[in-house]
Amino acid sequence: MKKVLIPTKLDKVASEVLKKHGYDVVQDSETDIQTLISQNSDAEALIVRSEIVSPEIIDALPNLRTIVRAGAGYNTIDIKYARKKGVDVMNTPGANSNGVAEEVVALALAAYRYVVPGDVSTRAGGWEKKKFLGRELTGKTLGIVGLGHIGQLVVKRLAGFEMKFLGFDPFVSASKAEELGVKLVSIEDIFSQSDIITLHIPENEETRGMVNAKLLSLVKDGTMIINCARAGIVNEKDLREAKAAKKLVYCNDVYPKDEAGAKSIADIADVMLPHLGANTKEANFNAAKRAGEQIIEYFESGVTRYIVNKDLPDGLNADYQKLANRLAILARGMLGRSTTVRQIKCSFYGELTQFGKWFLPPIVAALDDHFEAGMSPNEAQAYLDEKGISVEIREPDQNKKYGNSMTIDLEAGGRKASIRGTITENNLLVSRINDFNNLYFIPSGNAVLAEYEDRPGVLATITSLAAGANLNIDDIHAPRDPEGKRALAILITNKTVPEATVAAIKAQIRPIHAFAVELP
């Protein structure tokens, strides 16, 4: 009988489902997790919510085969160490999404109709109808930043209010947005045209502090902003200043840390909650039920769809996944980070042909920092389907004798970036970018790339601007296309290329495209 340990407060349905299938289940949210684990060191499966699963905990469970996070995020679990120890980590994506989407509706209504202050005032004996003159959702324009599962559910839940929906998501196709009834626009249009803006994006290097003075300067007076995503995506100082100037309404459910104590956002939040988005009986039930069912499927049927630290199949060198990721990062940079990718086409040559689907996760991770490169091919495909991005793994022409190499094409609005790479002497190499062949540069570290109409002096200008930014050039490639009309400059630098330097390159050489990139 397999033992499952649940050291967290979770709906009993997980335990019930497992027990019906003959599992020995220990569920205890009161006992200290270290003590509980020491008492149940023979557990083969572990279900957690926000508990930290460290290497020490994994080591204390020598029979452990799988950890299930009852929810989507798994940043509290050391998935790399788990992989090293042969432990599969799964999550239950989507189980909590509806709870967050409905919270957005609740916050919007509560703020527009003064539900909280109205309740306090009336309980105190007041009758302040004039003070609490509210607004209606019907007919308003809702701007959604991030059209993932939660963002899409927000649209569905608010559709009955006859609202106009604007969406910003570089990874959602126009056809998918049209299907949802959402008009895709720029982030600037979201902030300048919306009556209500709701945020549903991850916090990473690209999005941290994204809602700043520049975007907030575009909003209309009285605009409502709802943040049920991550605290760090909003520049609190800039929001405070914009709220005072434009009488913004701010609703918040996320903080730097989930803990008791004073909150710095308190003076500017009209409604604030203690991270209750997924805190519903239904979400808890769904996540718990899914966790129990996934453990049963894992042990009894070998189902591994939701594993987020998937091991590689025999014969596939993990470095080729790194190569796929870096090629896709470069292709994404060529199209522009704000451009919506509509189609992915790939060719895998030599022995890589049999592993085509295993390259989807690192490719998707290059498109969206929120997607883990170590997730399963099925999860990658599900993500692409959700975003309306088509993918084609082409039948390779082995007569070309490219060896173990790959070509990754990203397409968007009639534009295409095509990059081929391989591994030679354990070095990842880029061999072609669009029509520029025989490049053979190592895609690692910091780089700036610029394609331009070939003419004398351009390369000197680029290197001069790099020197002016105090950048050392570690490597440089400057090929011309077969017709000699265009040139490509690739500079590998000793540190991150500043945005100001890229802007200066664009201003002085007027390139077809130019971008900086940090390659892991």
What are the residues whose beta carbons fall under 8 Å from the beta carbon of 427, sequence distance 6 or more?
Answer: 442
Residue by residue, DSSP assigns 196-240 as EEEE----STTTTT-B-HHHHTTSPTT-EEEE-S-GGGB-HHHHH
Across 78-102, average pLDDT: 90
| CATH fold of the domain at 3-94+281-301 | Rossmann fold (3.40.50)
pLDDT at residue 294 tops 90: yes
- For 126, phi then psi, to 5°, come to -80, 170
pLDDT digits (tens, 9 = 90+) for 300-328: 988 877 888 877 777 888 889 999 999 99
Residue of 392, 410, 407 lying closest to 334 (CA atoms) = 410
Q: Could you tell me which residue, 214 or 172, shows the higher pLDDT?
A: 214
Given this model, what pLDDT does residue 163 score?
A: 97
Q: How confident is the model at residue 481 (pLDDT cuts 50, 70, 90)?
A: confident
Q: Which residue has the higher pLDDT, 449 or 148?
A: 449
Stated length of the chain: 520
Distance of CA 20 to the CA centre of its chain: 36
Q: What is the mean pLDDT of residues 448-468?
A: 93
Residue 249 backbone dihedrals phi, psi, to 5 degrees: -110, 130
Does CATH place domain 444-520 in 3.30.70.260?
A: yes
What span, in angstroms and rounded, lies between the C-alpha atoms of 340 and 358? 23
85 vs 67: CA distance, rounded Å: 12
Mean pLDDT of 134-141: 97
| CATH number of the structural domain 314-441 | 3.30.1330.90
CATH fold of 97-272, please?
Rossmann fold (3.40.50)
b/e map of 272-307 (b: 16 or more CB within 10 Å)?
bbebebbebeebbbbbbbbbbbbbbebbeeeebebb
Please give the Cα distance from 479 to 123 (Å, whole number): 75
Report the alpha-carbon distance of residue 397 to residue 402 in Å, rounded.
9
Which ranges of 9-96 does DSSP label H, i.e. alpha helix?
A: 13-20, 33-39, 55-59, 79-84
pLDDT of residue 172: 84
**What is the Cα 141 distance to its own chain's centre?**
25
Contact criterion met (CB below 8 Å) for 428 and 326: yes
For residue 340, the model assigns a pLDDT of 82
pLDDT in tens, 148-160: 889 999 999 999 9
Average pLDDT over residues 245-258: 94
Mean pLDDT across the chain = 92
| Residue 1 confidence (pLDDT) | 85
**In the chain, how long is the greatest CA-to-CA distance?**
85
% pLDDT > 90, the chain = 73
Q: How confident is the model at residue 19 (pLDDT cuts 50, 70, 90)?
A: very high
Cβ neighbours for 207, distance < 8 A, ≥ 6 positions apart: 201, 230, 232, 233, 369
Mean local confidence (pLDDT), 79-83: 88
pLDDT at 382: 86
How many Å apart are CA 194 and CA 164, to the nearest integer? 9
* 177-192 residues labelled b (16+ CB within 10 A) or e (exposed): beebebebbebeebbb
- Asked if the model's pLDDT at residue 82 lies above 80, the reply is yes
Return the HEC string of 257-321.
Answer: CCCCCCCCCCCCCCEECCCCCCCCHHHHHHHHHHHHHHHHHHHHHCCCCCECCCCCCCCCCHHHH
Out of 99-113, 236-250, 328-342, 457-471, pick the least confident: 328-342
pLDDT on residue 426? 82
Which of 406, 353, 360, 414 is closest to 387 using CA atoms? 360
The answer to whether 97-272 and 444-520 have equal CATH topology is no
Which residues make Cβ contacts (< 8 Å) with residue 460, sequence separation at least 6? none
* Model confidence at 95: pLDDT above 90: no
Alpha helices in 21-96 (DSSP H): 33-39, 55-59, 79-84
Domain coordinates of the chain in residue numbers? 3-94+281-301, 97-272, 314-441, 444-520
Please check whether residue 497 is in contact with residue 466, taking contact to mean a CB–CB distance below 8 angstroms.
yes
Rg (C-alpha) for the chain, rounded Å, is: 26
pLDDT at 511: 93
Asked whether the predicted pLDDT for residue 204 surpasses 80, the reply is: no
Which phi and psi (to 5°) does residue 155 adopt?
Answer: -60, -45
Write out pLDDT tens, residues 49-61. Answer: 889 999 999 999 9
Q: With a cut of 90, say whether residue 336 has pLDDT above it.
A: no
Q: Return the residue matching tokens 């391989």.
A: 422
For tokens 């009309």, name the residue: 485
pLDDT of residue 180: 93
Backbone angles phi, psi at 321, to 5 degrees: -70, -40
Q: Give ∠ CA 356-418-457 in degrees, rounded to 5.
A: 150
The whole-angstrom separation of Cα 451 and Cα 419 is 14
Instruction: Write the pLDDT tens digit of every residue in 376-433.
Output: 788 889 889 888 899 999 988 877 778 899 999 999 878 899 999 999 888 899 999 9
